[in-house]
């Protein structure tokens, strides 16, 4: 898996602070931006977060390049609907000799790994054979969820915080949790006051919403 933050709103935290101050000021945004120093911005962004006043966070966006993840992951990712996605097409891009993601539980089990790789090899061969007698858009129907893909994903900060809340949780599926953790690291580097407290609710709020399905981590955190 390779994840890169390829672009983001310049001075993202200052933009948030200016958007919030605009609601209570007669001055235009450029003047508000000029009067904001780093200390004021940090304090204001943290205050907005603690108050739950998050609409100003929607004015900044983050664009990620995501490669080498499975189609199983991408199907989960697009459930986060307040975001924009572009994904490599299996209709127009042939997947000859496709790479695939092997789950850790299968990799640790020699018997399971042997069966898994046997199926993947068979699918690679059958897919290639189908390309000789059918269009790629129809041959792709036998491609597995394990087949890797590439995406570009763009989130505003508020949507991204929601993504981190749900997908860095220990109950999240392992592959998308790894993706979310890497995205969070990258986002924190450029907007530490926005994402410094981002993450699962057991860490950020001291509560768990998983009920009977809880991983139990909350108990240790409370202690």
Each residue's pLDDT tens digit in the chain (223 positions)?
A: 999 999 999 999 999 999 888 887 887 788 778 787 878 889 889 888 888 889 999 999 999 999 999 999 999 999 999 999 999 999 999 999 999 999 999 999 999 999 999 999 999 999 999 999 999 999 999 999 999 999 999 999 999 999 999 999 999 999 999 999 999 999 999 999 999 989 888 888 878 877 777 887 877 776 6
Q: Where are the domains of the chain?
A: 2-85+148-222, 97-142
Residue 167 is a catalytic residue? yes
Is residue 76 a known part of a binding site? yes
At residue 198, φ and ψ (nearest 5 deg) are -80, 150
Is residue 111 a known part of a binding site? no
Other C-beta atoms closer than 10 Å to the C-beta of 102 total 14
Is residue 89 a known part of a binding site? yes
* pTM metric for this prediction: 0.91
At residue 68, φ and ψ (nearest 5 deg) are 75, 25
How is 107-142 classified by DSSP, letter by letter? HT-HHHHHHHHHHHHHHHHHHHHHHTTS-HHHHGGG
- Hey, is 219 helix, strand or coil? helix
How is 22-88 classified by DSSP, letter by letter? HTT-SS-HHHHHHH--HHHHHHHHHHHHHHT--GGGGG-EEEEEEEEEEHHHHHHHTT--SEEEEE-
Is residue 71 a known part of a binding site? no
Q: Name the catalytic one among 49, 71, 167, 177.
A: 167
Is residue 81 a known part of a binding site? yes
CATH of 2-85+148-222, one of 1.10.10.10, 3.30.70.420, 3.40.50.970, 3.30.1360.170: 3.30.1360.170
The whole-angstrom separation of Cα 96 and Cα 166 is 34
Is residue 88 a known part of a binding site? yes
Cβ 64 vs Cβ 153: under 8 Å: yes
């Amino acid at each position: 898996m390779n994840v890169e933050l390829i672009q983001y709103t310049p001075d993202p935290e200052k933009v948030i602070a200016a958007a919030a101050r605009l609601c209570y000021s007669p001055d235009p945004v450029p003047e508000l931006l000029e009067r904001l120093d780093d200390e004021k911005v940090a304090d204001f962004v943290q205050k907005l977060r603690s108050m739950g006043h998050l609409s100003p966070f929607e004015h900044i966006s983050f664009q990620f390049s995501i490669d080498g993840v499975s189609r199983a992951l991408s199907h989960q990712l697009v459930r986060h609907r307040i975001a924009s996605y572009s994904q490599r097409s299996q209709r127009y891009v042939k997947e000859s000799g496709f790479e695939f993601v092997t789950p850790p539980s299968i990799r640790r089990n020699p018997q399971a790994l042997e069966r898994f790789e046997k199926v993947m090899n068979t699918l690679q061969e059958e897919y290639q054979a189908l390309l000789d007698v059918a269009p790629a858009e129809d041959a792709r129907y036998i491609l597995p969820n394990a087949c890797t893909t590439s995406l570009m994903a763009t989130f505003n900060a508020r949507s991204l915080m929601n993504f981190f809340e749900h997908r860095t949780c220990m109950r999240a599926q392992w592959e998308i949790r790894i993706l979310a953790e890497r995205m969070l690291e990258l986002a924190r580097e450029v907007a530490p006051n926005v994402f410094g407290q981002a993450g699962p609710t057991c860490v950020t709020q001291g509560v768990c919403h998983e009920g009977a399905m809880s991983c139990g981590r909350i108990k240790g955190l409370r202690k």
